[in-house]
Amino acid sequence: MARATVPQWVLINAVALALMILLPSVVPAEVTSKDSISSAPFGQATDGKAVELYTLRNRNGMEARIATYGGIVTSLTAPDRAGNYTDVVLGYDSLAGYLKDSPYFGALIGRYGNRIARGRFSLDGKIYTLAINNAPNTLHGGKVGFDKVVWTVEKAQVGADGPELTLHYLSRDGEEGYPGNLAVTAVYTLTEDDALHLAYRAITDKDTVVNLTQHSYFNLRGRGDILGHVAQINADRFTPVDSTLIPSGELRSVDGTAFDFRNPTAIGTRIENADEQQLRFGKGYDHNWVLNGPIGTVHLDATVYEPTSGRVLEVLSDQPGLQFYSGNFLDGSITGKDGRRYEFRNGFCVEPQHFPDSPNHSNFPSTVLKPGEQYRSTIIYAFSTR
């Protein structure tokens, strides 16, 4: 059978056509090239453990950098209304800064976030005493909280929702005075719709207390103070505190107070109201709001908008409370990334949590975790523009 010779140009075009049809399904150029997770050495912790810095990048180009030391978010970029990416969290360029002096910049917080009065609580009829690291109270888990340990990496992958990093820490029975071996997993996911998700899970082998949160300091403008940021908090009440920032136990209405953020209000509008004792105690905002959303279901806790850049941060969680802290202890003594000095109120924290000092307040939602139960909490920092 005589074979018809196919002109060469027909062959070449046929191959080219085949490639054009097939190529997109083989290598979807858009996702793979930008959707990634990678790691690099970040130094050694004081206990000699090696620390890694993971970079999570979604397909839009948003990036989160997370250290295995303290599960610290060292940088987080977000676009402004013109699409320019800027780092919107405070922190350091290197591990040394975090090891030397950090007011919990970007860290995972536990075993018990915020304060426990006088470092004492009783559980099952037994008194537990904790390290006093924020006299006269215990703050953020004690001297060596979850922010100052090296977490192990269980998984680092690009998952269905985007790049995700699974960290694990075993807090041994008696660590910092707390009862029970507590096995904690923290999963960070940087989603394709520009949100950083944090999912905590924890189990214990003895009755204990658990209150985990995230301690990023945000500045949506990337520099200067945060007084022009416009905040809205979905809470009708807050928990007033004493001069050492321990709740009195009251759930007070925000009505007619400087704590009413039910309508979008610039953070700086009322922050200096001298007649508000609570603001004097906090040196500004450093309080727990009682969220309106149901515990255990993810709800919108707060929205913060920065007018000059157009950046919007929405905070969602399944927690009963939100610590809103306006960076009142920042005093210019810390020089962070890019040589920037962090002055008074150069950053704010929005820490979804159970209420401070709950083990000492029976009217607060319980933070007791028993063997056989699983602690679960979800925190979402979602970015957009206006």
Interface residue list for ligand GLA (CB under 6 A): 103-104, 114, 139, 245, 286, 323, 325, 329, 349
Decide whether 110 or 162 has the Cβ nearer to ligand GLA: 110
Task: Say if residues 100 and 45 touch (Cβ distance below 8 Å).
Answer: no
Q: What's the closest the beta carbon of residue 105 comes to ligand GLA, in angstroms?
A: 9
Q: Is 215 a catalytic residue?
A: yes
Residue 312, by phi and psi: left (phi above 0), alpha (psi -120 to 50) or beta? beta
Rounded-to-integer distance, Cα 155 and Cα 167, Å:
7
Tokens of 18: 């085949």
Decide whether 88 or 158 has the Cβ nearer to ligand GLA: 88
Q: What's the closest the beta carbon of residue 52 comes to ligand GLA, in angstroms?
A: 25
Task: Say if residues 265 and 231 touch (Cβ distance below 8 Å).
Answer: yes
Q: Is 351 a catalytic residue?
A: yes
Q: What's the closest the beta carbon of residue 187 comes to ligand GLA, in angstroms?
A: 23
Rounded-to-integer distance, Cα 196 and Cα 304, Å:
15
- If we measure between CA atoms, which residue out of 144, 184, 202, 121 comes closest to residue 370? 202
Decide whether 44 or 328 has the Cβ nearer to ligand GLA: 328
Burial of residue 329 (CB within 10 Å: 0-12, 13-18, 19+) is middle
Burial 313-323 (b: 16+ CB within 10 A, else e): bbbbbbbbbbb
Decide whether 285 or 305 has the Cβ nearer to ligand GLA: 285
Q: What's the closest the beta carbon of residue 104 comes to ligand GLA, in angstroms?
A: 5
Tokens of 20: 């054009």
Rounded-to-integer distance, Cα 119 and Cα 100, Å:
24
Q: What's the closest the beta carbon of residue 21 comes to ligand GLA, in angstroms?
A: 56
Catalytic residue from among 52, 63, 176, 351: 351
Decide whether 190 or 209 has the Cβ nearer to ligand GLA: 209
Decide whether 204 or 213 has the Cβ nearer to ligand GLA: 213
Rounded-to-integer distance, Cα 138 and Cα 119, Å:
5
Task: Say if residues 163 and 192 touch (Cβ distance below 8 Å).
Answer: no
Beta strands across the sheet bearing 375-385: 152-159, 162-171, 182-190, 195-204, 375-385, 311-317, 299-306, 230-233, 265-266
280 DSSP 8-state letter: H
Decide whether 66 or 334 has the Cβ nearer to ligand GLA: 334
Q: What's the closest the beta carbon of residue 82 comes to ligand GLA, in angstroms?
A: 32
Type of residue at 58: N
Rounded-to-integer distance, Cα 156 and Cα 100, Å:
28
Catalytic residue from among 140, 215, 229, 354: 215
Q: Give the DSSP H/E element, type plus range, for residue 266.
A: strand 265-266
Q: What's the closest the beta carbon of residue 344 comes to ligand GLA, in angstroms?
A: 13
Type of residue at 374: Q
Residues noted as catalytic: 215, 351
